[in-house]
Amino acid sequence: MHGDERITYPLAEALRRTDLPIDMHVTIIPSLNPDGWAADTRRNARGVDLNRNFPWMWSSSKESSGPGPASELETQAAMSLLQTERPDLVIWIHQPLAYVAPIADCPNEYVELWANAAGVRVRPDISHLGGGETWSARTAGLRSMLVEVTSWSTAQSLIDDHVRGFAALLPRVTVHESK
Ligand SMILES: [Zn+2]
């Protein structure tokens, strides 16, 4: 989502190598913002903060929210994938605020499993204008949670911490019956 959050790509690669429960399908997107990743910038190549561009209470008053809701191709791609696949759980990964938060009706158990294994705190639901996790939870009706990796570091130990969180959570994810 934010190209200057440098642990996210190697963390995604490490998650991809994690053993999965046998009946589970996981889609991992290493970078939703490839231009921002290449340029090491938070925003995309058009100067838009993608996490202010989603159409949940999108606001032109938010800095870098883009010319309109879902104006960006990256935002549209994420929305299309999620609306097509309707996953039982969406995990949005950011850096560096050191918490895990449930959005809307995401079970607290999920965030506690990840947070305890990774050594970060649980934060109550956060919702913000134009946020991807807020859109997926509150507009698309998908169970969604937000992971903020522990610091700006890209150390292997932090990758290991959050792989443990992922591995602790995955076997406990159930079918989202109300979707
Ligand atoms: Zn971020």
Which whole-number Å values give the CA distances from 94 to 6, 19, 100, 150, in the listed order?
Answer: 9, 22, 10, 9
Query: Please, what is the Cα angle at 78 between 66 and 176, to 5 degrees?
Result: 130
Please indicate, yes or no, if residue 178 is contained in any of the structural domains: no
Q: Ligand 1 centre and the CA of 42: distance in Å?
A: 7
pLDDT at 127: 81
Please indicate, yes or no, if residue 1 is contained in any of the structural domains: no
Which whole-number Å values give the CA distances from 151 to 75, 94, 99, in the listed order?
Answer: 25, 10, 10
pLDDT at 10: 95
Q: Ligand 1 centre and the CA of 51: distance in Å?
A: 7
Number of structural domains found in the chain: 1
Residues with CB under 5 A from ligand 1 (ion): 2, 5, 94
CA–CA separation, 82 vs 73, rounded Å? Answer: 14
Please indicate, yes or no, if residue 3 is contained in any of the structural domains: no
- 123: pLDDT strictly greater than 90: yes
Please indicate, yes or no, if residue 179 is contained in any of the structural domains: no
pLDDT at 126: 81
0.75 exceeded by pTM: yes
What CATH number does the domain containing 65 carry? 3.40.630.10
Please indicate, yes or no, if residue 67 is contained in any of the structural domains: yes
Task: Express each pLDDT in 74-107 by its tens digit.
Answer: 999 999 999 999 999 999 999 999 999 999 999 9
pLDDT at 179: 53
Please indicate, yes or no, if residue 99 is contained in any of the structural domains: yes
| Mean pLDDT for the stretch of residues 30-49 | 96
CA–CA separation, 112 vs 116, rounded Å? Answer: 6
| Mean pLDDT for the stretch of residues 13-41 | 94
Please indicate, yes or no, if residue 142 is contained in any of the structural domains: yes
Q: Ligand 1 centre and the CA of 49: distance in Å?
A: 9
Task: Express each pLDDT in 138-177 by its tens digit.
Answer: 999 999 999 999 999 999 999 999 999 999 999 999 998 7
CB proximity list for 156: less than 8 A, separation 6 or greater: none
Please indicate, yes or no, if residue 2 is contained in any of the structural domains: no
**Which residues form the domain of 115?**
8-172
pLDDT band at 60 (very low <50, low <70, confident <90, very high): confident
CB proximity list for 167: less than 8 A, separation 6 or greater: 18, 19, 117
